[in-house]
Structures are given as structure tokens and as C-alpha cells.
Structure 1
């Protein structure tokens, strides 16, 4: 519970610079068992890439986001198969869906251009996450990890930089 309060405070602080932005903030509550070490993937600006690691197309083991040109640290671990999507200019994450049991079994990140990144095996309980306001996009995720990703929730908001300012001139991978 303290972790959720911390994340809510972090989100409110991140959006406090522009009171206009805070009206677009929403949170999709965490799904999964919630065991293990807490994490949050945050960055500056718009999300421009997503990586997901799944083991034998079964359980989600790790996440990594790129904000602008910079990849975050991996949460969880790099294990087995890596799925990746690089977003185009004017493209944002507008929905996350998937399945969960004790761990996150599968995840689908869907973009504003109708493209999707799919990882894992679709078995378990279904979940769907999306912003409460149509102008919002995925800003960051938070959750818990214990051998695999055991839970995550999505934080939605607006980005102050206008569309088209995250031009990717260097798309090399790590």
C-alpha cells in the first residue's frame, strides 16, 4: 500500500509542473499476485520504444522502455525471447491488455496507429488497461517482480512536448 501511495505521489509530482496535465492523469490498478520487489519504469518525455522478455512464450520476465533516445534499465530480467516495438513519430501507447495468474502470463501493448507488441502465452485472467481521457498516453508502469513479473499497473497522462518532436535520427540498438 505504501508503494502505491509512493507511485501516486511520484505521478502527481511529475505532472505538477502543468496543472493542465494533471487533469488527464489516470491509473490502471495493478494486476497479478504482487509478490516480490517493487519497481517503476519512468523517464522524461514520450515513450518511443518497448521491450518485453518472455520465457518460452509463457511468462513475462522483464520490461524496458525507451524515452526519446534513451533506454531505461530493465526491470525484472532479460530472459529467453525479447519482443520489441519502436514507435513512429506521432505514435503513442494507448492500451495494454493481457492475461495473468500468479505472474503476468501475457501482455499486448497497442499503439495509436493500431500496431501491437505481443509477448507471452494468453492463459489466465484477462485484463485491459487504458487511459480515462482520450488525450492521454502511457507515461510509465509500476509493479512487482519475483523471478518473473508478478504484477504491474499503468500510469496515463499527457506529454507536454508536441507530436513530432521526438524525431528518431539514431535508431541503433544496445
Structure 2
């Protein structure tokens, strides 16, 4: 199942290997049951929204690429948390906690300016995603969710060719 996501990423990149293009992939964690998702957008990630149940797990998330929000992956249930990035700020680390038979319980996003958004409960197994190459940033998140929340998450890293500025 996770190999299928890796294969999809490789197919999207064409004949170029991940390392030759400066891309790297952080393999999925979590049980991975439910509907598959892979974020997509034009340009750089400029904001993140995450929903969590009270004292519980991550129910959904959303990314903004330039000015356009992705669909919500999972569901908009519980407390909404948001971090808007400054111009030139990028996400360079994603970490958190998950239960092997359950959900993603905590997720954190760290930026190249030392800021972070941490949502959820610090319980379960830890994961820590970061790019393999300098000057890389988070490009996409993928994984699975069911009717209650996120069941798995993975990350694709690389460089974005940004020609337009944003606020």
C-alpha cells in the first residue's frame, strides 16, 4: 500500500530519480486504512490548518498553496489550528505521534525561521520527517484517512521554483 504511494510519486516525476532531482520522500507512518489522499497545489505552501478532537487525535488538515486552499483531508471536526507562513518561510520538518492500530494523534510543522505549529496529543509512536537535501521544503503530504480522522501520513520534499511573490 505504501509502495503504491511511492510508485505514484516516482511516476509523477517521470524518468528523473528522486535524488537526481533533489527530491526526497519520508515514508508513511500509521495503519493506513481508509481513503487515500495526496495534496496538490501550485507554488509554495503558505499556510496549514489542522483539526483535532479534544484530548484526542487529528481529524483533518488542509494546506494552502500560494492563495488557494486544498480540500480538507479527513474532516473539519474539533478544534481548528492554523499557521500562516511569512514570505520566504518554508516548512522544513513534520513530526508527531501515531498509534499503530489507530490514528495520527499529534502533528507538528517546523519552518526555516524556527516557528512551529504543534497540534494534538503527545501519545504513541514518534515520527520525524525532514528533507534529505538542503534548501528543500515540504511539497506534498500523502496518506489515508477514514470517517473519523487521519490514519497515515507521508511527506515529499524538494525545491519550488517560485517566480511570483505572495503575502
Residue of structure 2 equivalent to 1:158: 159
CA distance in 1, matches of 2:31, 2:78: 22
Residue of structure 1 equivalent to 2:61: 63
Per-residue CA deviations over 1:24-54 (Å, capped at 9, x if unaligned) read 1000000101111101111110000000010
**SS, match of residue 167 in structure 1:** coil
Q: Which runs of 5+ in 2 are unaligned?
A: none
Taking only aligned residues, the RMSD between alpha carbons, in angstroms, comes to 2.0
Aligned residue-pair number: 162
Please list, as runs of the form range in 1=range in 2, the aligned pairs for 1:121-140 lying within 5 A after superposition: 121-140=121-140
Residue of structure 2 equivalent to 1:37: 35
Q: Give the TM-score normalised by structure 2.
A: 0.90
Q: Residue 22 of structure 1 contacts residue 157 of structure 1 at CA under 8 Å; is this kept in 2?
A: no
Q: Which runs of 5+ in 1 are unaligned?
A: 169-174
CA distance in 2, matches of 1:110, 1:98: 11
**SS, match of residue 150 in structure 1:** strand
Offset, 1:22 = 5.4
87 and 22 in structure 1: CA distance in 2 versus 1, 3 angstrom threshold: farther
1:115 is aligned to 2:115: yes
CA distance in 2, matches of 1:40, 1:96: 15
Q: Which runs of 4+ in 1 moved over 6 A?
A: none
